[in-house]
């Protein structure tokens, strides 16, 4: 028993189980709790139950449950990839982990500059969470990103980040940036400021949702087509969904895999561009220099006094 506990293979197996189990739990919840639809139906997230809450009920939907399952699964992926790190890598997974980290850091450095180097973990998290959430539709579960609430939450987070970095030179400088290039354009600048999170949220949500809707419509259309072609055959031969075998998978490569990964990349990319673009770098570094000069002057004066 003691030997079994320390065997690295057992821990690896447990970690892999931790990756797969949340998805299985999600599938089980879907099968058990959600009533089967007649044919193909396009619906929003199913509400499992409503928590009593001081300000009206707090509905616990499929979106929240699936999002948490994706997060747990991703956590185990990270634990699996970073287990038993060595200075001279001898496992494939360490190479993979290093490749991911290096690529993310390169991407962040290339797009945001040296000042934002610390953004790499955040951008990596956004990329991974978004991509895995969209790819959840491959397992037949409801992808959390096709709910506006999720993407809107991420967009609001990004908006707060953008505003924080715009305020780095003080709130006055931030307010002044609205009056550029001419003061009477200020209302338009305010609108475009708020359009940023709205467009980010709608872009991600719309892309994933349209993929889901088109997949569902395609399934119905192919069902009709196969009934048209084979419907005249007697018995169960007429019921064979000929065109639904394999053909939807081809479209799924575009709508689920390509579109999901592309949207994750674009969301991360736009986050980087907006945050780095909103940051008044020149002004900030000028002020930092002035501060440093003042501080050095003060210390030199103090040193003189001491002498």
Partner 1 sequence: MLELAIGIILGCCALGAGAAMIAGIGPGIGEGNAVAAACEAIGRQPESKSDVTSTMLMGCAVAETTGLYALVIAILLIFVAPRIFVSILMETIGR
Binding site for partner 1 (CB under 8 A): 42, 44, 199, 202-203, 205-207, 209-210, 213, 262-263, 265-266, 269-270
Distance CA 25, CA 33 (A): 12
- Shortest Cβ 266–partner 1 spacing (Å): 4
- Shortest Cβ 263–partner 1 spacing (Å): 7
Distance CA 216, CA 251 (A): 11
Distance CA 133, CA 113 (A): 29
Return the DSSP state at 170.
-
- Shortest Cβ 102–partner 1 spacing (Å): 16
The torsion angles phi and psi of 266, rounded to 5 degrees, stand at -70, -40
Q: Which of 147, 181, 140, 129 is nearest to 34 (CA)?
A: 140
Which of residues 23 and 123 has its CB atom nearest to partner 1 in the complex? 123
Distance CA 56, CA 50 (A): 10
- Shortest Cβ 272–partner 1 spacing (Å): 11
Which of residues 185 and 213 has its CB atom nearest to partner 1 in the complex? 213
Q: What does the CA dihedral 246, 247, 252, 258 come to, rounded to 10 degrees?
A: 110
Q: Which residues pair with 61 in a beta bridge?
A: 47
Reported as half-sphere exposure (CB side, CA atoms, 13 A), residue 59 has a value of 8
Which of residues 73 and 134 has its CB atom nearest to partner 1 in the complex? 134
- Shortest Cβ 204–partner 1 spacing (Å): 9
Which of residues 94 and 196 has its CB atom nearest to partner 1 in the complex? 196
Which of residues 206 and 248 has its CB atom nearest to partner 1 in the complex? 206
Which of residues 15 and 262 has its CB atom nearest to partner 1 in the complex? 262
Task: State the CB neighbour count (10 A cutoff) for residue 70.
Answer: 26
- Shortest Cβ 167–partner 1 spacing (Å): 25
Which of residues 29 and 152 has its CB atom nearest to partner 1 in the complex? 152
- Shortest Cβ 50–partner 1 spacing (Å): 19
| Beta strand segments in the chain, E | 47-51, 58-61
Q: Which residues pair with 47 in a beta bridge?
A: 61
- Shortest Cβ 269–partner 1 spacing (Å): 6
Distance CA 92, CA 87 (A): 14
Which of residues 50 and 199 has its CB atom nearest to partner 1 in the complex? 199
Helix (H, G, I), strand (E, B), or coil: what is residue 61? strand
Distance CA 158, CA 193 (A): 12
For helices 259-278 and 92-112, the axis angle rounded to 10 degrees is: 40
């Amino acid at each position: 028993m003691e030997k079994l506990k320390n065997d690295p293979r057992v821990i690896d197996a447990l970690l892999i189980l931790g990756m797969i189990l949340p998805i299985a739990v999600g599938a089980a919840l879907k099968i058990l709790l959600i009533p089967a639809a007649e044919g193909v139906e396009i619906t929003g997230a199913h509400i499992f139950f409503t928590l009593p809450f001081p300000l009206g009920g707090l509905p616990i939907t499929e979106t929240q449950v699936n999002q948490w399952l994706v997060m747990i699964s991703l956590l185990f992926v990270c634990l699996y990839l970073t287990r038993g790190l060595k200075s001279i890598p001898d496992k494939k997974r360490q190479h993979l982990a290093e490749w991911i980290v290096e690529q993310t850091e390169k991407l962040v450095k290339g797009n945001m500059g040296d000042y934002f180097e610390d953004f790499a973990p955040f951008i990596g998290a956004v990329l991974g969470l978004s991509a895995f959430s969209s790819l959840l539709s491959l397992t037949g579960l409801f992808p959390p990103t096709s709910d506006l609430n999720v993407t809107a939450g991420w967009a609001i987070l990004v908006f707060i980040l953008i505003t924080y970095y715009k305020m780095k030179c003080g709130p006055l400088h931030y307010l002044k940036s609205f009056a550029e290039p001419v003061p009477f354009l200020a209302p338009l600048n305010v609108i475009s400021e708020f359009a940023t999170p709205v467009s980010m949220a709608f872009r991600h949500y719309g892309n994933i949702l349209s993929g889901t809707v088109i997949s569902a419509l395609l399934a119905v259309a192919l069902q009709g087509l196969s009934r048209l072609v084979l419907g005249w055959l007697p018995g169960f031969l007429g019921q064979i969904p000929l065109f639904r075998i394999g053909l939807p998978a081809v479209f799924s490569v575009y709508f689920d895999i390509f579109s999901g990964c592309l949207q994750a990349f674009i969301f991360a990319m736009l986050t980087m561009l907006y945050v780095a673009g909103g940051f008044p770098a020149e002004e900030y570094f000028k002020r930092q220099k002035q501060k440093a000069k003042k501080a050095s002057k003060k210390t030199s004066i103090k040193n003189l006094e001491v002498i």
